[in-house]
Amino acid sequence: MINVGIAGASGYTGAELVKLIWNHPQTNLKAITSNSYNGQSLARVFPSMNGFENLICQDLDVKKLAGKIDVMFLALPHKVSMEYVPGLLNENIKVIDLSADYRFSNAKAYESAYQAHTSKQLLKESVYGLCEIYRAQIKSSPLIGNPGCYPTSILLPLLPLIKENLILTTGIISDSKSGVSGAGRSLSLATHFSEVNESFSAYKIGNHRHTPEINEILSLHAQVNVNITFTPHLLPLTRGMLSTIYLQAKDHINEQKIRETYHNFYDKEPFVRVLDKSQFPAISHVRGTNRCDFGFYFDENTRQIIIVSAIDNLLKGAAGQAVQNMNILFGFPDETGLNAVQAPL
Amino acid sequence: MINVGIAGASGYTGAELVKLIWNHPQTNLKAITSNSYNGQSLARVFPSMNGFENLICQDLDVKKLAGKIDVMFLALPHKVSMEYVPGLLNENIKVIDLSADYRFSNAKAYESAYQAHTSKQLLKESVYGLCEIYRAQIKSSPLIGNPGCYPTSILLPLLPLIKENLILTTGIISDSKSGVSGAGRSLSLATHFSEVNESFSAYKIGNHRHTPEINEILSLHAQVNVNITFTPHLLPLTRGMLSTIYLQAKDHINEQKIRETYHNFYDKEPFVRVLDKSQFPAISHVRGTNRCDFGFYFDENTRQIIIVSAIDNLLKGAAGQAVQNMNILFGFPDETGLNAVQAPL
Amino acid sequence: MINVGIAGASGYTGAELVKLIWNHPQTNLKAITSNSYNGQSLARVFPSMNGFENLICQDLDVKKLAGKIDVMFLALPHKVSMEYVPGLLNENIKVIDLSADYRFSNAKAYESAYQAHTSKQLLKESVYGLCEIYRAQIKSSPLIGNPGCYPTSILLPLLPLIKENLILTTGIISDSKSGVSGAGRSLSLATHFSEVNESFSAYKIGNHRHTPEINEILSLHAQVNVNITFTPHLLPLTRGMLSTIYLQAKDHINEQKIRETYHNFYDKEPFVRVLDKSQFPAISHVRGTNRCDFGFYFDENTRQIIIVSAIDNLLKGAAGQAVQNMNILFGFPDETGLNAVQAPL
Amino acid sequence: MINVGIAGASGYTGAELVKLIWNHPQTNLKAITSNSYNGQSLARVFPSMNGFENLICQDLDVKKLAGKIDVMFLALPHKVSMEYVPGLLNENIKVIDLSADYRFSNAKAYESAYQAHTSKQLLKESVYGLCEIYRAQIKSSPLIGNPGCYPTSILLPLLPLIKENLILTTGIISDSKSGVSGAGRSLSLATHFSEVNESFSAYKIGNHRHTPEINEILSLHAQVNVNITFTPHLLPLTRGMLSTIYLQAKDHINEQKIRETYHNFYDKEPFVRVLDKSQFPAISHVRGTNRCDFGFYFDENTRQIIIVSAIDNLLKGAAGQAVQNMNILFGFPDETGLNAVQAPL
């Protein structure tokens, strides 16, 4: 049994973490923090969270956590995470950070997309927590930068093709669509019910901060600079994400080769599911699960590949993958606390 | 042609008023005001409002409006309306106020539900703008208190039965449900997409401010004090309202008598539609229209009546009824600018 | 470990049962049946149901199940259940029937609401599976009629008050609202997306088949005939149900007495949660759980009680309560396989 | 005043046509037909359609229409339209066909996507009713093939760039998303509320029938064969469509040139709105209007253009454009009966 803390428990991702850790057979939830709800029980913050009347949000004080916590999840905004991570590591608390602060190995890339980084040296030590790709490194790293939701939905189907050199690294386009929960619980006109409901729109065209995150990882594996086109959209639904990805196979590559490559990479992975030919996922297929499901279409004439990939943005795109990282870090099977079957509705 | 101003044009009700007045064949829209968007075009506030690039939100300055405006719609919060109404009337500008400030004739009832009233003497002059019931008084009043959305959906089917003394005035219950647009465009956790979507709840049980408004009107017509039970709920949809109303017929009353009474009251009314036996409205039937549709069920054994009544909360429940009031006030047929047919979706 | 079969696994309730039984630590899922999808894997019927590729829908053949199954869940339409129940009992297979066929003890009440009953004698042996009320009888009954969703949401808050004789048994009204999943997976215009979305309506006013089910149970406990008014409505959301119930306290009863009564009944129950004063549930609070949450408002002047009660129609309203019944029947703690914490979204 | 008939009035597109023609100042609606609701009033088919109690659905009988109708809208499935069009033309009734039957000039392209064409010779005479592009031809054609919804949203922003030779004609991708009303009122699991709600998915990847329609028009104007990649998706909302289109500018082309080209094409068009730099449409901006709004992003480094285009699939994507075609055909201004302002909700 390990002792766990969760910072930012009053957000949607934080609440998912509380749920997962509570149901997890190998953890004790020792501390939750919330800036906005300090001193209040989580059951008051989220009336659905029955049984949590005695779990009180506290402020995030590294000294108080020292010696009591084995691992801390940070469901905090970028920039805020950086303020706590060095202190937590100093106290021998492992950190799984769900902000963007430790996802980059290149500080300049981070700084051009976000702001000045106050602990650049840690970027060399932190591991990008895309479980299926970085499992070996995750096992031994005290600091994990949990991937963004969009990057997870895009990188999982792209990396096998990139690593095996099956596709052109230019001209890759991901047209991605996310549910509203990805924008968190903070108030804004963009997430006001009457504005979102019965509507749909693209946003941050050409400049979303997940683009450099995706490009860094793709480039590392391609060994050339990769610059994808990434267009996020806002769906009128609460949870779920779907990416439609367009790319070109290299000349000698056929559908069979792609399919084999995928199966080699993922057949033993409990949370990635390569769909059969002509099968594509819907968001409803993965909602409430930690899975990434994807299918692909290959046009023999044009050599174009179209991949459709779906995740639950709060699970495989955030809290679920964070717990999967914890499982890897502490030597539990990946599925521990994450393998509940989900009904279709 | 009359000259019209709209205060509070940057809210949802204000925008509906702009749309209706713009499409209205007998009006010129001369001024719109907005506290939050002063100096900006309405097309910038609402990107859907094409053609309004030249319509600029100004501040609400009575002196500037004097002599230019025949009638002013106030789509303002209660208490704010009171600050402007006496001044507007002094300048011979007629006022249709969509706040609660001039709906009550009894100042004490207003003050116990809202706050101190700063122009009580006007309450004697203002008319409650429930068009089908107060048409005669509306024609000659410079100040109209436009009814609340819930009261409109409840009073229209109740008043004929109350006035004709067909029902018990005790034990009336209205279980009412509203779309989210009724809460306006201001931000709150209660209207955050992820909180409302796929949920449903009751609110302000036992103390909603529309209860005294309904009771005052019912009591005036019943000539006894009526205290109804009113429970509002929030629906996960943008526009529309449905009230399910439970009451008891008096001993000698049968279904036929109720039906005849309704038809006598409403058959010549363009915006009230009494449905046939066993027919009940859905919100989709009235969305985008200025209609109130209702049907009723009569249980011969228990003499219980169940009425189901539906309106579009932004039209018959707010902006549409306000324009209907303007039509009556200026001698246009009720339907002017309001009779566009609506398709089912 | 017990061996379980599920009939009707290709419906929404059936799929919820599969999920619950699969995640349950004390069961083996031995057979699933489906009339429409005979021979197909459940993963093909519901693409979300990963891991069920080897679980093949078969036809419902009692002989094949004999000796292999300890308990059979029937998620079948009424009338169809009756065709199989006597045969299953003959083979010593316990039955938890989710249709209406064995919910009534009075065959006439059943027959006037449904159709001729072909095994009336079993109605004397079957137990109404409202777990918190009939736990003692459930423990020893081979045949359980699992309650309807609406009745569950209404009876749980009403029965303590009825049994303790605190309220008038006349004039009780339940205004109830259900998500669309309650209508199942069969196609109809009433559940077509474009018809339901952004709409809301009442249906079967005065004649819904759940009314006699509710009345029979209330009357048994009141020891007088109780006839409630029950009006169901269709919400534009997938899962969840909320009932707003209006009733009158007897003269000597105060709020404190009601509250104490509720706590005496339910404080030890894991799946019923009496909310504090001024607290009322939303559907989002119980979605994905087996809980019934309710709060109440008491008006001291009128002695009126307003109860708001929420359940997930597919769980406490169907599959969850069915598994809770199985737990009671086989001596497992009620929460077994049902106590997963749920996050707010 | 012209006399109008509408075939297929009981579908969603047909009902939109009824609404538009009814509100149109220059038309008399003389006949509506419906296969499924023959003999019933439209108010019974769609309870929202008040005032249509006397408008009775009849069967489609060309002989009965002869001499009474100037123009017939056919909101029928493909293949069914072909059965009536030659007969209608013989009776000197102009036809605006909303099926795919007369959209193609190349019969082979039609036949490979649909089925054998029974009046191929008419394909030479019919005009593709994309109003802004084919206005001159529409004016004098008795037979108009009204464009598909997806093609409209894609062709309007693409054609100016194609015609002015500003872009590469290879590698064009349209990732398009439609509301559920596009699938009509027929029942299917794919449009069942509980399956669509809170989900999102791609469909007909690589083989949607709108692809050859788009390609034929693009190729005609490019004077080379154009083959775009088109991926449709289903949004969990009722009405609206958004296409995100990826393409490459030619070497010498800059953003200014693209913008000028668009303004030259569309500034005088009442129903196409080119948005300012960094502005992109949401579906809510065009819902309930006949407009196509689009904005574009130009990446100077890669010369990639990303266009986001939005329409209401039932209006500019179907019934609205059909009425615009009628206006052109009969010499009315395009906006006649179509220019009602729309509020944001």
Question: Contact at 8 Å (CB) between A283 and A311?
Answer: no
C23 touches chain A (CB under 8 A): yes
Q: Residue B99, SS3?
A: coil
Q: Which helix (H) or strand (E) holds C63?
A: helix C62-65
How far is Cα A69 from Cα D150, in angstroms, rounded to an integer?
55
- pLDDT band for D49, please (50, 70, 90 cuts): confident
- pLDDT band for A49, please (50, 70, 90 cuts): confident
Partners of residue B280 in chain C, C-beta under 8 Å: 201-203, 205
CB pair distance less than 8 Å for A177 and D173: no
Out of D189, D236, D237, name the one closest to residue C187 (CB).
D189
Interface residue of D181, D199, D306 to substitute, partner A, most A CBs within 10 Å: D199
CB pair distance less than 8 Å for A50 and C23: no
Could you tell me which residues come within 8 angstroms of residue B331 by beta carbon, excluding any fewer than 6 positions away?
Answer: B139
C175 touches chain B (CB under 8 A): yes
Question: Contact at 8 Å (CB) between A233 and A201?
Answer: yes
What integer is the mean pLDDT of B283-301?
96
Length of chain B as a residue count: 345
Tens-place pLDDT, residues A205-259: 999 999 999 999 999 999 999 999 999 999 999 999 999 999 999 999 999 999 9
B189 touches chain A (CB under 8 A): yes
Tens-place pLDDT, residues D55-82: 999 999 999 999 999 999 999 999 999 9
Q: Which helix (H) or strand (E) holds D123?
A: helix D121-125
* Catalytic site positions of B: 149
Asked whether the predicted pLDDT for residue D122 surpasses 80, the reply is yes
Out of A206, A231, A236, name the one closest to residue D244 (CB).
A231
CB pair distance less than 8 Å for B286 and D15: no
How far is Cα A72 from Cα B253, in angstroms, rounded to an integer?
70
Question: Contact at 8 Å (CB) between D276 and D209?
Answer: no
Alpha helices (H) along C185-286: 193-196, 210-222, 255-266, 283-286
- pLDDT band for B342, please (50, 70, 90 cuts): confident
Tens-place pLDDT, residues C188-238: 999 999 999 999 999 999 999 999 999 999 999 999 999 999 999 999 999
Residue C321 confidence (pLDDT): 98
* C277: number of Cβ within 10 Å: 10
How far is Cα C244 from Cα B202, in angstroms, rounded to an integer?
8
Residue D279 confidence (pLDDT): 96
Residue B169 confidence (pLDDT): 98
Length of chain C as a residue count: 345
How far is Cα D133 from Cα A338, in angstroms, rounded to an integer?
55
CB pair distance less than 8 Å for C244 and B175: yes
Tens-place pLDDT, residues A276-331: 999 999 999 999 999 999 999 999 999 999 999 999 999 999 999 999 999 999 99
Joined together, the tokens standing for residue D155 give 């062709």
Question: Contact at 8 Å (CB) between C144 and C102?
Answer: yes
Asked whether the predicted pLDDT for residue D218 surpasses 90, the reply is yes
Joined together, the tokens standing for residue B13 give 């009700």
The dihedral sign for the CA sequence B216, B218, B222, B227: negative
CB pair distance less than 8 Å for C194 and D181: yes
Residue D339 confidence (pLDDT): 82
- Vertex D214 angle, CA D206 and D229, to 5°: 35
What integer is the mean pLDDT of C43-59?
87
A13 CB-side CA count, 13 A: 32
What integer is the mean pLDDT of C295-319?
97
Could you tell me which residues come within 8 angstroms of residue A294 by beta carbon, excluding any fewer than 6 positions away?
Answer: A156, A157, A272, A273, A274, A275, A281, A307, A308, A309, A310
- pLDDT band for D342, please (50, 70, 90 cuts): confident
| Amino acid at site A133 | I
Partners of residue B244 in chain C, C-beta under 8 Å: 175, 202, 231, 233
Partners of residue D312 in chain C, C-beta under 8 Å: none
Chains with at least 3 CB pairs less than 8 angstroms from chain C: A, B, D
Q: What phi and psi, each to the nearest 5 degrees, are found at residue C135? A: -55, -45
CB pair distance less than 8 Å for A180 and B197: yes
Q: Which of A167-181, D161-175, D281-295, D328-342 has the least mean pLDDT? A: D328-342
A231 touches chain D (CB under 8 A): yes
Please tell me the distance in Å from B232's CA to the nearest CA on chain A: 18
Nearest to D200 by CA among B150, A175, C275: A175
Out of D198, D231, D287, name the one closest to residue A287 (CB).
D198
% of chain D exceeding 70 in pLDDT: 100
What integer is the mean pLDDT of C150-156?
98
pTM strictly above 0.95: yes
Asked whether the predicted pLDDT for residue C56 surpasses 90, the reply is yes
Q: Residue A248, SS3?
A: strand
Of residues D119 and D341, more confidence is placed in: D119
CB pair distance less than 8 Å for D194 and C181: yes
The dihedral sign for the CA sequence D181, D182, D185, D190: negative
Asked whether the predicted pLDDT for residue D344 surpasses 90, the reply is no
Q: Could you give the domains of chain D?
A: 2-146+318-329 (3.40.50.720), 150-311 (3.30.360.10)
Please tell me the distance in Å from D134's CA to the nearest CA on chain B: 24
How far is Cα B35 from Cα D149, in angstroms, rounded to an integer?
40
Interface residue of A34, A45, A46, A341 to substitute, partner C, most C CBs within 10 Å: A341
- pLDDT band for D47, please (50, 70, 90 cuts): confident
CB pair distance less than 8 Å for A341 and C314: no
CB pair distance less than 8 Å for D283 and A198: yes
How far is Cα B66 from Cα B70, in angstroms, rounded to an integer?
9
How far is Cα B122 from Cα B94, in angstroms, rounded to an integer?
13
Partners of residue B279 in chain D, C-beta under 8 Å: 47
> A241-248 and A173-178 as β-strands: parallel, antiparallel, unpaired?
antiparallel
Partners of residue A37 in chain C, C-beta under 8 Å: none
What integer is the mean pLDDT of A269-278?
96
ipTM attached to this prediction:
0.97
How far is Cα B176 from Cα B210, in angstroms, rounded to an integer?
11
User: Given 3-state DSSP classes, what are the helix, strand and coil percentages for chain A, each rounded to the nearest 5?
Assistant: 35, 20, 45
Partners of residue D289 in chain B, C-beta under 8 Å: 48, 50
Residue B49 confidence (pLDDT): 86
Residue D341 confidence (pLDDT): 72
Over A293-307, what HEC string results? EEEEEECCCCCEEEE
Interface residue of D180, D181, D189, D193 to substitute, partner C, most C CBs within 10 Å: D193
A198 touches chain B (CB under 8 A): yes
CB pair distance less than 8 Å for A173 and D173: yes
* Catalytic site positions of C: 149
Out of C239, C280, C345, name the one closest to residue B201 (CB).
C280
How far is Cα A69 from Cα A65, in angstroms, rounded to an integer?
6
Tens-place pLDDT, residues A105-136: 999 999 999 999 999 999 999 999 999 999 99
Asked whether the predicted pLDDT for residue D255 surpasses 80, the reply is yes
Out of C285, C293, C345, name the one closest to residue A12 (CB).
C345
Residue C342 confidence (pLDDT): 79
> B27-33 and B2-7 as β-strands: parallel, antiparallel, unpaired?
parallel
Tens-place pLDDT, residues A134-157: 999 999 999 999 999 999 999 999
Asked whether the predicted pLDDT for residue B102 surpasses 90, the reply is yes
Residue B129 confidence (pLDDT): 98
In terms of CA atoms, which chain A residue is nearest residue C18? A343
Residue B108 confidence (pLDDT): 96
Chain A segment 44-73 residues within 8 A of C by beta carbon are 46-52
CA distances from D266 to B53, D159, D269, D291, D292 (A): 17, 11, 5, 12, 11
How far is Cα B33 from Cα B48, in angstroms, rounded to an integer?
18
Joined together, the tokens standing for residue A236 give 């009128």
Question: Contact at 8 Å (CB) between D73 and D6?
Answer: yes
